[in-house]
Amino acid sequence: MNTGIEFAEKLSKAYSETCKPLCHELNIPQTAFDILLFLANNPEYKTARDIVEIRKIKANLVSVNVDKLVNEGYLERKSVEGDRRKVNLICTEKSKEIIQEGQKLQQSFVEKLFEGMDEDTRKALQKGMAHMEANIEKMLEEKN
């Protein structure tokens, strides 16, 4: 049996491979695609720093891809009132098609993960994952 780390790596690789054809079709780098979906799926996070800290994408990659997304009209930068150093990233109307296609892809990916799994097993797995997520949060809090 694989360790949890190996499973997480395989999951990440499978997701990345699933995204490649859509990114190619949409003519968007996968990192830029990931940034758009992260911002759309997590409205509580709005800054490049959030992307770096939460998604663990290197700062220079975030910077290059955010610039590309802004230049191509998929994102807007909006200054945060009262903090001249902080800039929120806002998905534009132009980004909606990419986001919708990406969210469909994500939903399909999750459905494939659970394919052939009975409802009781699925519910047990989801319960176990929620418990592990709570444990991860505790571990992260203990680190800080």
Q: What is the largest CA-CA distance in the chain?
A: 52
Question: Whole-model pTM?
Answer: 0.84
pLDDT at 1: 52
Tokens of 68: 């590309």
Domains in the chain: boundaries: 4-113, 116-144
**What pLDDT was estimated at residue 117?**
95
Q: Could you read off the pLDDT of 1-33 as tens digits, one per residue? A: 567 789 889 999 999 999 999 999 999 999 999
Could you say which residues of the chain have pLDDT below 70?
1-2, 144
Architecture of domain 4-113: Orthogonal Bundle (1.10)
Asked if 44 and 106 count as a contact pair (C-beta separation under 8 A), the reply is no
Element (H, E) at 85: strand 83-91
